[in-house]
Structure 1
Amino acid sequence: MADQSIIRITKEIGELQKNTNLSLAVAFRDRDVRNVKALIIGPHETPYEFGFFEFAVKFNKEYPRKSPSVTGTTTNSGRCRFNPNIYASGKVCLSILGTWRGERGEEWSPAQGLESILVSIQSLMSANPYENEPGFEDANESHDKKNQKEYIAKIRHETLRISIIQRLEEYLGIPGSSVALPVPSGQYDFEVDMDDDIEIDDASVPWEPFKDLCKHRFLWYYDSYLETIKKAKEEVKDGQPFVRMPFEGTSNTMDGKFNYTELEARIRQVKAALDAEPEKWALEGASAKMKDSTVAVNLARQFEQIKESFKRSEEPHNIELVDGNPFVWHLTYFGRPMTNLDGGMFRIKINFSPRFPEEQPRIKFLTPMFHHRIAADGTPCYFPNPNRREDVKQHIEAIIAALEDEEPKYDPRTQVNLEAHKLYWGSADERKIYNRQLRRSVQRSMEDF
């Protein structure tokens, strides 16, 4: 039974890691498949929007006959209750987990699995979580409506403060965060050979499997975070205390005060630190090249292969190394004929980490493009094949596919350029405005090239 249990767990994790669900991620250490970390990204148009919420999932030996245990770990060290069903202690109240009484048929069954658990938890992160509290499902009195608004307001603030800003500050080792990681990403001593075989005890090393993912998503959603702060500043004042809900207890609550001025300063500092990382990678990469590190040799080989493939194909695109550094590429993208991109010439910078592919490349359009999948700062929203993360060509192909997709499916999680996204998915007249602005950016690219 134990072996079958592990096979089932491994299969479920593999399926989740292979799919392109933009809201869920899972990871485990090779030595311990029964202990899984999961990340849920807060749904659009909720107070949890684009927040990073982590959970610890522990599978018992009787799984799938019995459900795993799930504990929320994004709680500000046990001081923040993010939802009526997600306690400050980390307890997750769900009938399928056996932690809450539910209706007949809502209890756990072997037909369910890790994905259904995570989707169920994500469904708790609704636009009006006040209604999740038993007895408050249909609360519509005037004081309830006031409480609903107050509850949403403080969840929105703490989603930004704890799940996003605090998490990224910890990843980046920014002073003032609650916990500073010992070695911020991108700040290794150049004298350390990245290929040295050093014996390290896994248990003693902080394990942050979602660090790179959260950094990339932060860059996607940065403008959305700023827009949230801007709107919230019009609704609440700095120093205004949170209102305690009738179902919140002394040790199971969300207490605090609003301070969006501070949050804005901190979130801009996080963005600046992330923008500085690729330059540090370039310096590390130059050192790694001199030592013929495995990553440097691999990137140089892939560069030559891709450059040759562009020459052999009908694709007019071109790539060059910046200062001969295999960790910094310039890609020139030529817009596809007979589309709104026709005639465009866009320069794109691709920075690689010496820890590639564990850290995925940072990509930025140096030539501005008005596109619903390109953030205002030039960061593209694209989906590399999760099974080929080390293949640079498929990253390039995925970027081009995102640019040239003429019939994309609507997905609010790809909202990286607020203005372009609104126009593209708006009315017919708004789509025309979008197309005109895209064409203008194409024309400017030809003039500036």
Structure 2
Amino acid sequence: MDQSIFRITKELSDLQRNSDLSLAVACRDIDVRNVKALIIGPHDTPYEFGFFEFLFKIGKDYPRKSPTVTAITTNGGRCRFNPNIYANGKVCLSILGTWRGERGEEWSAAQGLESILLSIQSLMSPNPYENEPGFEDANEPSDKRNQKNYIQKIRHETLRISVIQRLEEYLGIGPDGQALPQNNSKEEYDLDMDAIEDDRNVPFEPFKDLCKRRFLWYFDSYLEAVKKGKQEVQDGEPFARMPFEGPSNTMEGKFNYTELERRLHSIKRALDAETESWAAEGLVAKAKETTVAVNLQRQYEQVVESFRQSDLPHSVELLDGNPFVWILTYFGKPMTNLDGGLFKIRISFSPRFPEEQPRIRFETRLFHHRIASDGTPCYVPPTNRREDVKAHIEAVIDSLEEENPPYDPRTIVRPEAFKLYWGSEEDRKMYNRRLRRSVQQSVE
């Protein structure tokens, strides 16, 4: 095997096995030299939980020479998301040779795809204004005002372009929430993607399911960002141009957080409707005895038997005999804050499982830092068992019962509960009281 191909394949495999919740990579099996990557914007930055996509083109001289990296999330070349990420897709980094750096910052064969992604992610800072050379220590009143304005418009466009436009395109709906005619949805970008399109010219969209599931995780955080934005700017107020922005390399527009909020709710309704549609599709698949239907039925029987043989009191049943909709009954773990609780959890499967992962929702309300307000749990199944339903169930239960979870802002799915859980001693007491109250209400 070509040494560069071997190196790329290993790096991709390592990244895909990694449990990092903010990075993802994918490529077509026929061409590992063209890699798509997704970076989810860091917490406490204007990029928070945005979906930013990049294209890596890797030459035969890799790893002696760095790949070429292009930002795809640019609103068709009209939006510069960072002083170092241009509207035309150029990414300015010393390790890519696209920016002059200090000695020791150049590319070396010891670096790889992950180091590039982490370097790009580091550009998505709480104050990206300072990323522009010459503005690192800007303390003039005008600079302070610009910093605030820059953060605000990045937050707005992160929501509008990287989240809302992306999800609307994935769901085939327009800004008004109505379904678009088939094959007539607007592309988010206009780049030459021939190298990673198949012979039928079908777009390669490896992150579609991931972004849909993460949208459900972060929906409450998006609404909080809208609320914060509304407090700082008025709808219709134009974006301020930064001193380092120039023609065709800027971020122009006007604020309209009211409109963004409406579109976020439209996307949420469309996702919920899509999940509901899987049940009807599943019954058709069951009647046709498709491979997925037979597989889910068999897995259901195995999970039922596993619960029967274990000491766990939990149970599972199919909704109306449909192998694509499972109802899990979870009993709270004794001697914990969940003790005495009784929770119904709906697990919905796509006829395209496991390519589309299951969507899980607590139908019984539970105030928990790993459960979104609509009941969506934040959990991560083992990457090598994504097709194993039992592994998903175990991962959900583990996330509920974890006694000493590490602080991880990538798991903020219910901001109010998360802040209390990781707050002061009094905050934690309040969290525990609200959790216990919801547990008691689960059996009333």
Change (3 A) 1:33 1:201: closer
| Deviation digits for residues 96-142 of structure 1 (CA, Å, limit 9, x no counterpart) | 00000000000000000000000000000000001100111111111
Match of 2:193 in 1: none
Contact 2:176 2:263 in 1 (8 A): no
Per the alignment, in what secondary structure is the counterpart of residue 328 of structure 1? strand
Per the alignment, in what secondary structure is the counterpart of residue 20 of structure 2? coil
Match of 2:100 in 1: 101
How many angstroms apart in 2 are the aligned matches of 1:298 and 1:38? 31
Contact 2:361 2:376 in 1 (8 A): yes
Change (3 A) 1:154 1:317: same
Q: Do residues 119 (structure 1) and 118 (structure 2) align?
A: yes
Q: Do residues 6 (structure 1) and 5 (structure 2) align?
A: yes
Match of 2:188 in 1: none
Contact 1:170 1:177 in 2 (8 A): no
Match of 1:270 in 2: 267
Contact 1:171 1:180 in 2 (8 A): no
How many angstroms apart in 2 are the aligned matches of 1:219 and 1:244? 33
- The 5 Å alignment of 1:30-429 reads 30-176=29-175, 182=182, 201-429=198-426
Contact 1:170 1:180 in 2 (8 A): no
| Deviation digits for residues 247-270 of structure 1 (CA, Å, limit 9, x no counterpart) | 101110000000111111111100
How many angstroms apart in 2 are the aligned matches of 1:381 and 1:277? 19
How many angstroms apart in 1 are the aligned matches of 2:43 and 2:80? 20
How many angstroms apart in 1 are the aligned matches of 2:199 and 2:431? 50
Q: CA deviation at 1:175?
A: 2.2
How many angstroms apart in 1 are the aligned matches of 2:383 and 2:137? 42
| Deviation digits for residues 142-185 of structure 1 (CA, Å, limit 9, x no counterpart) | 1111111111110000000000000000000012489969479x
How many angstroms apart in 1 are the aligned matches of 2:327 and 2:183? 29
Contact 2:35 2:55 in 1 (8 A): yes
Contact 2:175 2:263 in 1 (8 A): no
How many angstroms apart in 1 are the aligned matches of 2:176 and 2:68? 29
How many angstroms apart in 2 are the aligned matches of 1:433 and 1:181? 49
The TM-score with structure 2 as length reference comes to 0.95
How many angstroms apart in 1 are the aligned matches of 2:125 and 2:415? 22
Contact 1:289 1:326 in 2 (8 A): yes
Unaligned runs of 5+ residues in structure 2 are 185-196
Contact 1:171 1:181 in 2 (8 A): no
Unaligned runs of 5+ residues in structure 1 are 185-199
How many angstroms apart in 1 are the aligned matches of 2:386 and 2:246? 45
Q: CA deviation at 1:310?
A: 0.2
Match of 2:189 in 1: none
How many angstroms apart in 2 are the aligned matches of 1:321 and 1:354? 15
| Deviation digits for residues 53-106 of structure 1 (CA, Å, limit 9, x no counterpart) | 000001000000000000000000000000000000000000000000000000
Per the alignment, in what secondary structure is the counterpart of residue 426 of structure 1? coil
How many angstroms apart in 2 are the aligned matches of 1:62 and 1:369? 53
Per the alignment, in what secondary structure is the counterpart of residue 446 of structure 1? coil
| Deviation digits for residues 230-286 of structure 1 (CA, Å, limit 9, x no counterpart) | 111111111100010111011100000001111111111000001111111001000
Overall identity of the aligned pairs, in %: 74
Letter paired with 2:9 = T
| Deviation digits for residues 176-206 of structure 1 (CA, Å, limit 9, x no counterpart) | 489969479xxxxxxxxxxxxxxx9555111
Q: CA deviation at 1:421?
A: 0.6
Change (3 A) 1:177 1:108: farther
Contact 2:79 2:250 in 1 (8 A): yes
How many angstroms apart in 2 are the aligned matches of 1:218 and 1:203? 29
- C-alpha root-mean-square deviation of aligned residues, in Å? 1.7
